[in-house]
Amino acid sequence: MIQTVESLAALVKGTVRGDCLCAIDDAAAIEAASSSAVTFVLNEMQLRRLKECRAAAIVVDGKIADTVSQASNAALIVVDDAQAAFQAVLPLFRKVRDRPARGISSHAQISGSAKVGTDCYVAPGVVIDEDVVIGSNCDLHAGVVIGAGCRIGDNTILHPNVVLYHDVELGSNVIVHAGAVIGADGFGYRFAGGKFVKIPQLGNVQIHDHVEIGACSTIDRGAIGPTVVGEGTKIDNLVMIAHNCEIGSHNVFASQVGIAGSSSTGDYVRLGGQAGLRDHIHLNTGCSVGAKGGVTKDIPAGETWIGIPAMPESEQKRQFVAIKRLPEIRDQVHSLEMQVAAMTAELEQLRALLDQSGNSVLRRAAG
C-alpha cells in the first residue's frame, strides 16, 4: 500500500520537513532502505550510517532533527519518539497475521476436570491434564502440553510445543515461545554411597503477568519453594533459569544467559548474551552484566559489571588495558634486566679495582 510522507506524519502525529507528497511503499532499516522507503534514526550514533542511506523519508526525534537534516536530503518526519512512531508505521508495509479463530479443536486432549475459559483457541494436538485452570482469550498452539494442576491467566499465548510440567502458574498476558519448557526438575543431587542420589524437586514455577519467554528456554521448578519470574520480565531464546531462583520485575535477559540455582535479582536487571551467574548470589536493582560476563558474587544496585570473572566495568577496563600492554611491559622489563646486569658487572669491576687499590696502599704502608 503506497503512502505519502504527509499521511505517515499524520498517523504518528509528526511534522514534516521536506517533500510531504513523496510516495512511500516500504519501511526498512537504514542500510536496507530503498529510494521509496521510510527509515528511522534514534540517536546521533547512527548518523554515520546515513552516508549510504537512500531512504526517501526518515522518522526522527525532534532533539536531533537539525543534525539529521544536515546529514541527509531525505524528508523528515519529526516526532517525540522515533522508535515508537516507526513501529506504528511498519504494519502498513508488512503482513500482520491475525490471531487464530476462537475455538477448541476436537483433536485436542483435555481432561474432564480441566477448565478452559471463554474465547480461547486450543489447537490440534494440545494436551491438557487434570485440574488445569485456563483463563479467557488464551491461545494454545499445536503440540502444547499442560501438566496437572497448572494455572494460566487471561490473554496468555503458548506457542507450538511449549511444555508446562505439573503445577506451573502463569499470569495474564504472558507469552511463551515455541519449545520452551517450564517446571522441569531442578538439577539437584547429593553424593551418597558412591553415587549421585536425586533430591526431590517438590516446588513449582510462578510466572507473573506480562512476562515473555523465548523459544527453547527452560525454567526449572524449585526443590522446596517456587522458582519465580517477576512481572514484565523479558527472557530471550535459549535462556536457562535454575531451581529456586527469584527473578525480579522488568528484567531483560539476552540469549544463552544461564542462572544457577537459588540466585536472585532485583528489578530492572539486564544480562547480556551468554552471561552466567553462579548459585546463591543476588544482583541488586538496576544493575547490568555485559555479554559473556561470569558473575561470582553479588552486584550492587545500578552498577555495570563485565568480564570473566565479572567486576565493575571501569576496573575491568583498566585490567584489559594493562593486559594489552603486557608485551610492551615484558620488553621493558627485559631491557631493564639487561641494564641492571650490565650495571652489576660494572659495579663488580669497580669493587675489584678498589680492592686492588686498597691492597696496594696497605702493602706500601707496611713496607
Catalytic residues: 243
Is 104 within 8 Å of 110 (Cβ atoms)? Answer: yes
Cα–Cα distance for residue pair 275/273, rounded to 1 Å: 6
Find the helix or strand (DSSP H, E) in which 360 lies. Answer: helix 326-366
Upper half-sphere CA count for residue 290 (Cβ side, 13 Å): 14
- The total of other beta-carbon atoms located within 10 Å of residue 259's CB is 26
Pairing of strands 246-247, 218-220: unpaired
Is 92 within 8 Å of 3 (Cβ atoms)? Answer: yes
Q: Is 207 helix (H, G, I), strand (E, B) or coil?
A: strand
Comparing CA positions, the residue from 322, 261, 258, 269 lying closest to residue 293 is 258
Is 212 within 8 Å of 230 (Cβ atoms)? Answer: no
Helix extents (H) in 178-325 = 313-324
* Grid cell for residue 30: 537504514
Pairing of strands 23-24, 3-4: antiparallel
Is 63 within 8 Å of 82 (Cβ atoms)? Answer: no
Q: Is 110 helix (H, G, I), strand (E, B) or coil?
A: strand
Q: Is 192 helix (H, G, I), strand (E, B) or coil?
A: strand
Cα–Cα distance for residue pair 215/234, rounded to 1 Å: 12
Q: Which residues pair with 175 in a beta bridge?
A: 157, 212
Angle, helices 313-324 vs 326-366, to 10°: value is: 60
Is 309 within 8 Å of 292 (Cβ atoms)? Answer: no
Cα–Cα distance for residue pair 148/227, rounded to 1 Å: 18
